[in-house]
Amino acid sequence: MSESPIYLDHNATSPPHPLVLEAALPLITNHWGNTGSAHSLARAPHAVVEHARGQLAAWAGARPKDVVFCSGATEANNLVVLGAEGRVLCSATEHPSVLEAVQLRGGTVIPVDCHGRLDLACLEEELSQGAGLLSVLAANNETGVLQDTSAIYELTRAAGVPLHLDCAQLIGRHAAPECWDYMTVTGHKAGGLKGAGALLRRQGQALSARSHGGGQERGFRAGTLNPAPIASLGVVATLVHSPQVRIQRDRLEAACVALGAHVSGSGAPRLWNTCNVVFDGIQSDMLVVGLDLAGVCASAGSACASGAAKASGVLLAMGIQESALRLSLGWSTTAQDISRAIEAIQVVVARQRALGSESWQG
Ligand code: PLP
């Protein structure tokens, strides 16, 4: 019997955590009522959604009534960026769901340094010209680079500009940042089900609805709620990564460095689960295909961009022209997985280098 694939693409999506399945399955099999109905079948799913709201609010340090559930981080990011009053700003390494929304609004993109951290001098200059919102990715999906959200918040607060943090990659892995005005989360990167995310806002921060209809979520997001993934998002808010994840990520990264790889964002604090490496002279899509054949699921960037085989905007913004291999670990990753992945990477890199030198020799 062939071994099951080693999954190292948790930043794209993750396998459902056992606690998530326990919480979510009854909502599919038995408690499938509409949370907005007035009869008895609505009671159980309604209670579960409110419990998840409380779990999420507790993680974020927010009030439950300031949680707006929606379909995922894309929708939450669009909700806050497209609804903001005035000029919108974001960093150059945002997820496309922020970057494209900011560009659609004619907003301003602020550069990052070679480690992927926001250029604070440039930010200060932009803030001094007035803005309605700054949106920043708290933990980058491609590199895992963590922004200094406290320092950024000091500047935005002084300028009177609300700060939105995209925490899609943070929840379930890391403590929530303390300083923010709006926050985006999603459940499926750290053991939750696809199909639920949320926008949180601090008391007093304005929000304008993008969808209109049944008045759900206090009128901020119309549409029938999806209790199973919402319950899973609540569970994810209670999870923390085991130190084992970092130990295994560091082992994997050290093995790549021993093969001559450069680590993107190595000069900045990074999420414990993410390894983004450039092997000079080797196209990362060739590595991804080779690893897939060897039973290792990896990515050449973010899931949205990987099908397009184009240079990563995140890496270009950091001054990295080459393509990179992204390996992202999670709750299900074992030490044995990493040992097998290291062996596969050694073989695939050696084969690509041999092929490269053959074609060089004509
Ligand atoms: N923001 C970040 C940082 C992400 O990594 C992702 C997922 O790729 C998203 C937003 C979009 O999340 P969702 O799939 O929940 O719409």
- Return the CATH number at 179: 3.40.640.10
**Would you state the structure tokens that stand for residue 345, as one six-digit string?**
């990477």
Any domain includes 360: no
Task: Kindly state whether residues 264 and 305 are assigned to the same domain.
Answer: yes
Any domain includes 39: yes
The share of the chain scoring above pLDDT 70, in percent, equals 95
**Would you state the structure tokens that stand for residue 360, as one six-digit string?**
């060089």
Which atom of ligand 1 has the smallest separation from the CA of 302? Answer: 8
Assess whether pLDDT exceeds 50 at residue 360: no
Which atom of ligand 1 has the smallest separation from the CA of 97? Answer: 10
Among protein residues, the one with the nearest Cα to ligand 1's atom 12 is 73
Among protein residues, the one with the nearest Cα to ligand 1's atom 5 is 141
Which of 163, 152, 151, 161 is CA-nearest to residue 129? 161
pTM of the model: 0.95
How much is the mean pLDDT over the chain?
Answer: 94
Task: Kindly state whether residues 218 and 321 are assigned to the same domain.
Answer: no
Phi, psi of 129 (to 5 degrees): -90, 0
The per-residue pLDDT for 13 is 98
Gap from CA of 325 to ligand 1 centroid (Å) = 19
Gap from CA of 125 to ligand 1 centroid (Å) = 29
Gap from CA of 340 to ligand 1 centroid (Å) = 28
The per-residue pLDDT for 357 is 64
Any domain includes 362: no
Which atom of ligand 1 has the smallest separation from the CA of 76? Answer: 16
CA of 84: how far to CAs of 92, 102, 222, 303, 343, in Å?
A: 19, 10, 18, 27, 49
Query: What is the CB-side half-sphere exposure of residue 57 using CA atoms within 13 A?
Result: 17
Task: Kindly state whether residues 52 and 125 are assigned to the same domain.
Answer: yes
Give me the helices (H) in the chain, please.
18-29, 43-60, 73-83, 96-104, 120-128, 149-159, 227-236, 243-258, 284-293, 303-306, 313-317, 335-360
Please give the DSSP secondary-structure letter assigned to residue 74.
H
Q: Which of 196, 221, 236 is the last residue of a domain?
A: 236
CA 153: distance to chain centroid? 20
Task: Kindly state whether residues 27 and 113 are assigned to the same domain.
Answer: yes
β-bridge partners, 70: 197
Gap between the Cα atoms of 336 and 342, Å rounded? 10
Lowest mean pLDDT among 129-138, 256-265, 278-287, 295-304: 295-304
Assess whether pLDDT exceeds 80 at residue 147: yes
Gap from CA of 264 to ligand 1 centroid (Å) = 20
Lowest mean pLDDT among 49-53, 198-202, 210-214, 271-275: 210-214
Task: Kindly state whether residues 183 and 39 are assigned to the same domain.
Answer: yes
Task: Kindly state whether residues 257 and 152 are assigned to the same domain.
Answer: no
Task: Kindly state whether residues 314 and 205 are assigned to the same domain.
Answer: no
Task: Kindly state whether residues 89 and 202 are assigned to the same domain.
Answer: yes
Give yes or no for a contact between 308 and 284, defined as CB atoms under 8 angstroms apart: no
Any domain includes 1: no
Any domain includes 361: no
**Would you state the structure tokens that stand for residue 182, as one six-digit string?**
């709006």
CA dihedral 158→140→227→83, nearest 10 degrees, is 40
- Catalytic option among 114, 167, 275, 304: 304
Cβ partners under 8 Å of residue 346, min gap 6: 255, 259
Task: Kindly state whether residues 276 and 262 are assigned to the same domain.
Answer: yes
Q: DSSP 3-state assignment of 250?
A: helix
Among protein residues, the one with the nearest Cα to ligand 1's atom 9 is 73
Which atom of ligand 1 has the smallest separation from the CA of 72? Answer: 15
Phi, psi of 136 (to 5 degrees): -135, 140
Instruction: Tell whether the torsion through CA atoms of 117, 175, 62 and 139 is positive or negative.
Output: positive
Gap from CA of 98 to ligand 1 centroid (Å) = 10
Q: DSSP 3-state assignment of 174?
A: coil
Task: Kindly state whether residues 207 and 325 are assigned to the same domain.
Answer: no
- From 93, 186, 194, 304, the mutation candidate for ligand 1 (largest count of ligand atoms within 8 A of CB) is 186
The per-residue pLDDT for 3 is 77
Any domain includes 115: yes
Among protein residues, the one with the nearest Cα to ligand 1's atom 16 is 74
Among protein residues, the one with the nearest Cα to ligand 1's atom 10 is 73
Assess whether pLDDT exceeds 80 at residue 306: no
Gap between the Cα atoms of 48 and 231, Å rounded? 6
The per-residue pLDDT for 338 is 98
Assess whether pLDDT exceeds 90 at residue 362: no
The number of residues in the chain equals: 362
The domain of 329 spans 6-15+241-355
Any domain includes 132: yes
Inter-axis angle of helices 149-159 and 120-128, nearest 10: 20
The structure tokens 């008045």 sit at 215
Gap between the Cα atoms of 295 and 6, Å rounded? 6
Active site residue 304: yes
Gap between the Cα atoms of 208 and 223, Å rounded? 15
Count CB atoms within 10 A of the CB of residue 105. 16
Gap between the Cα atoms of 137 and 256, Å rounded? 26
* Count of structural domains, the chain: 2
**Would you state the structure tokens that stand for residue 259, as one six-digit string?**
């093969």
Gap from CA of 235 to ligand 1 centroid (Å) = 18
CATH number of the structural domain spanning residue 342:
3.90.1150.10
Q: Which of 211, 236, 261 is the last residue of a domain?
A: 236
Give yes or no for a contact between 27 and 33, defined as CB atoms under 8 angstroms apart: no
Which atom of ligand 1 has the smallest separation from the CA of 141? Answer: 5
Q: Let me know how many helices (H) and strands (E) the chain has, helices first.
A: 12, 12
Q: Which of 236, 266, 288 is the last residue of a domain?
A: 236
The per-residue pLDDT for 134 is 98
The tens digit of pLDDT for each residue in 166-203 reads: 999 999 999 999 999 999 999 999 999 999 999 999 99
Among protein residues, the one with the nearest Cα to ligand 1's atom 8 is 12
Any domain includes 54: yes
Gap from CA of 95 to ligand 1 centroid (Å) = 7
Task: Kindly state whether residues 207 and 280 are assigned to the same domain.
Answer: no
Task: Kindly state whether residues 203 and 281 are assigned to the same domain.
Answer: no
Pocket (CB within 6 angstroms of ligand 1) = 72-74, 77, 95, 97, 137, 141, 166, 168-169, 186, 197, 302-303
Lowest mean pLDDT among 143-147, 271-275, 299-303, 327-331: 299-303
Which atom of ligand 1 has the smallest separation from the CA of 303? Answer: 8
Among protein residues, the one with the nearest Cα to ligand 1's atom 7 is 12
